[in-house]
Amino acid sequence: MISVKTDRELEIMRKACKITAAARALAGEMVRPGVTTGEIDKAVHDFIVSQGAKPSFLHYQGYPGSACISVNEVVIHGIPGDRVLKEGDIVSVDVGAFWQGFHGDCAATFACGTISQEAQRLIDVTKQSFFEGIRFARQGNRVSDISHAVQAYVEANGFSVVRAFVGHGVGEHLHEEPSVPNYGAPGKGPRLVKNMTIAVEPMVNMGSYEVRVLRDGWTTVTADGKLAAHYENSILITDGEAEILTVPEGL
């Protein structure tokens, strides 16, 4: 069942999302050579807790970290630990915060020092594909109108969209209905209505869209070993343009 939020619930969710976005920004500032993914994870954890919230991901279905930190060919769900970041890495950070009953969820890919021109283009296309998609996140449209716009933009730029994992509704639960794929024909899926909240999250590969999950049950890598990038925001369907909820201002 798709959840439509009340105005009061949206007030709470906006706060949860601001905390989440600020945690993403903090993580991005820490991405530099010599830093470990575990150090970033601890900083994300401590910040979210300092805001009176809880890390949404910590212990979610057994996940051991407060953030998913995915380096280079890791698409999503990279488990933070002792890995030391190196010059030229690209680092995707996915975070969530739970505050007074509601979740925020967002992600971005950051450059570690100087990266290749093609890696930067991958990051840029991935981020822009989100904005191409949410142009269609309007009351009365259908979920796959977003999906189609993301896919069309990514593929026009020579990259591929992951199909094994998708965006989702977000609110009282970290993952709610509806699923929000990053591919497919337009005009399909549930109709978007005012006060729906969804997480739109393009996951984009430099090569094939195929992925595989490693033995830890979480870490998801590109099947061909090429780079991947990730960009996500929680958004609100309004009677006009979608509102991006995961912006860090005004904590």
Q: What CATH number has the domain bearing residue 22?
A: 3.90.230.10
Q: How far apart are CA 239 and CA 186, in angstroms?
A: 20
Can you give the pLDDT at residue 193? 97
Over residues 5-27, the mean pLDDT reads 98
Whether 204 has a pLDDT exceeding 60, the answer reads yes
Over residues 70-75, the mean pLDDT reads 98
Is the model's pTM score more than 0.85?
A: yes
Q: Is residue 1 part of a domain?
A: no
Can you give the pLDDT at residue 238? 97
Over residues 13-31, the mean pLDDT reads 98
Q: Is residue 156 part of a domain?
A: yes
Q: What are phi and psi of 25, to 5 degrees?
A: -65, -40
Whether 249 has a pLDDT exceeding 90, the answer reads no
Domain coverage including residue 146: 7-244
Can you give the pLDDT at residue 101? 98
Can you give the pLDDT at residue 248? 78
Using DSSP, state whether 9 is helix, strand or coil.
helix
Q: How far apart are CA 76 and CA 10, in angstroms?
A: 28
Over residues 203-230, the mean pLDDT reads 98
Give the count of domains, the chain: 1
Q: Is residue 2 part of a domain?
A: no
First and final C-alpha spacing in the chain: 31
Q: Is residue 80 part of a domain?
A: yes
Q: Is residue 54 part of a domain?
A: yes
